[in-house]
Amino acid sequence: MTFTRKEWHILSTVCLSMFLIPMNITSSSVIMLSLMKEYRLTYQESQWFINVFMVLYASFLPITGRLSDLFGRKRTFFIGLCLFFMGFVLGTLIESYQNIVISRGLCGIGAAAVTTSATSLLSTNIAEKNRKFSFSIFGTFLGVSMIVGPFLSSLLNDYSNGWIIYSTINLVILIPLLISSLFILERSKRESRAFDFCGSVLLTVVIFSLVSVASFFPVWGWDIKTKSICLLLSACLPLLFFAERKAVNPIVDLKLLSNKEFSSMSIISLLLGGGYISLMMYIPYILNKVTSLSAAQVGTVVMMSTLPSLMFPPLISKFRAQVNDNVLVAVTLMCLVISPLYLLAVISDASFVQLCFAMFFLGCSFGVSLSYLDGIAVSSVELEKSGLAAGTFNTFRIGGESIFIPLVSSFTAVFISKNVGIDIFYNERSEEFLSDKLQVLSSFSLILVITSLICFISSIPIMNRYRKLKS
């Protein structure tokens, strides 16, 4: 397996750039705890830190995916890195929670541009014989970054200026990446077809509305903001389907969903958003409420859930030619079904070691999927539509995560006082604390059962469909 210098340059730049996105996602749930303490935030107020990134990340995936096809993957990739850089610069200039939230939103838009153009750059500029191995390396970097996120943020939680240090680390990584991206040479030509502006705006509005309602309903309730967004959504959704059916070059090609391989991978990505990512976002908070673990121990437990993302992609890549896709899909779905039930069985009175193992098991589904999911989805379509496919696929994945994460938050908020905030850092065994602990534990247990049930029901048609496709 021989890579050209150009292929190594693209692979290394893309992998290091994508390293930042999972790191910022997995670290947010741990950083959130220190921000709650520093700015004396309630539970609902702290959700803006996570949700605003996910809202804008999901909303801009379709439009950035299409822009990468039309105006160049390199250009879209560079703009995404610039927005990421500007977001962290903004977050360090003015030390206020509102400014941090704004900077996170800017980073979310940049992350969308980097994500869609990154996978498209790999699929169009790496030779076919090297493509599977490249996506395995790509998955390894994603796995490492998922481990680095909670580990780094748990180390910085003890510092009063931990967020500033974290932002500075990101800026130091981004500077050489911005320079390196300028020297990327694209192999494929840009599409010369007209840009579906109407569909782009409608799709962005629909996703933004869906995720906003799911994200901020616990804060807003059924007030004028929620009603207005729901009214906007009900108006835009039928217009979107009508516009995309009539468009010559749609922003979301609905025909992609008729591709069984592409649609199967997209559904699995949705299940991973609900069965792994959304749970991992709130487990640090849950552990602080129901256990006496220190902040460092909580960070270690969360880090264990990301360890499979580091271990499995390089291990699977060594035997990728001998491992059938059906086996990888089956293992992913099996872990999604069983791991939440195992976590449910041990979380109430488990030791530190037991919790580490339970979280490792929870992360196995995502770790295995990193070795094949993106590569199969993007490679299953025509080369000239790879950017559109990457945007559509990542819309399913990130959109699912963006909806499932706030839904878990909404469910949890029903059982938790509006003024939780700072008290999660105190572990007195008072009657009030124990009552609150039982409420949190019961709500999270129900979430785990529902998650496992949904994954089990969904896995049956997926496996039947995928077996027929491969046979």
What is the domain-level CATH number for residue 27?
A: 1.20.1250.20
Given pLDDT bands bounded at 50, 70 and 90, which one contains residue 426? Answer: very low
- Give the per-residue pLDDT at 432: 45
Token look-up 């490249």 returns 134
What is the model's pTM?
0.73
Mean pLDDT over each residue of the chain, to the nearest integer: 78
Domains: count for the chain:
1
- d(Cα 377, Cα 459) in Å, to the nearest integer? 18
The predicted pLDDT at position 59 comes to: 75
Say if CB 432 and CB 403 are below 8 A apart: no
Domain that holds residue 264: 5-470
**Per-residue pLDDT tens for 260-304?**
788 888 888 888 888 888 787 778 778 877 788 877 788 788 888
DSSP summary character for residue 449? H
Helix (H) / strand (E) element for 48: namely helix 43-71
Residue 48 CA to residue 60 CA, distance in Å, equals: 18
Q: 97-119: per-residue pLDDT in tens? A: 888 888 999 999 999 899 888 87
59 within 8 A of 207, measured Cβ to Cβ? yes
State the average pLDDT over residues 1-16: 85
Which residues, at least 6 apart from 47, have a Cβ–Cβ distance to it below 8 Å? 215, 216, 218, 219, 406, 409
State the CB neighbour count (10 A cutoff) for residue 144. Answer: 19
**15 touches 362 (CB < 8 A):** no
24-52 tens-digit pLDDT? 887 887 787 778 778 887 766 777 788 78
What is the rounded distance in angstroms from the CA atom of residue 178 to the CA atom of residue 114? 12
Which of 129-133, 293-297, 403-407 has the weakest average pLDDT?
A: 403-407
pLDDT value at residue 338 = 94
| pLDDT value for 306 | 81
Query: What's the pLDDT score for residue 84?
Result: 92
pLDDT tens-place string over residues 335-378: 999 999 999 888 877 788 899 999 999 999 988 887 888 778 87
**Residue whose entry in the numeric block shows the structure tokens 């896995």:** 459
How many helices and strands, by DSSP H and E, does the chain display?
16, 0
User: Using CA atoms, how far apart are residues 443 and 415, in angstroms rounded to an integer?
Assistant: 7
Could you tell me what percentage of the chain is helix, strand and coil, using 3-state DSSP and rounding each to the nearest 5?
A: 85, 0, 15
pLDDT attached to residue 154: 76
**Residue 463, number of CB atoms within 10 A of its CB:** 16
Q: CA 295, 403, 335 angle in degrees (round to 5)? A: 65
Rg (CA), the chain: 21
Q: What is the DSSP letter of 194?
A: P
* Confidence at residue 63, expressed as pLDDT on a 0 to 100 scale: 78
State which H helix or E strand residue 447 sits in.
helix 431-470
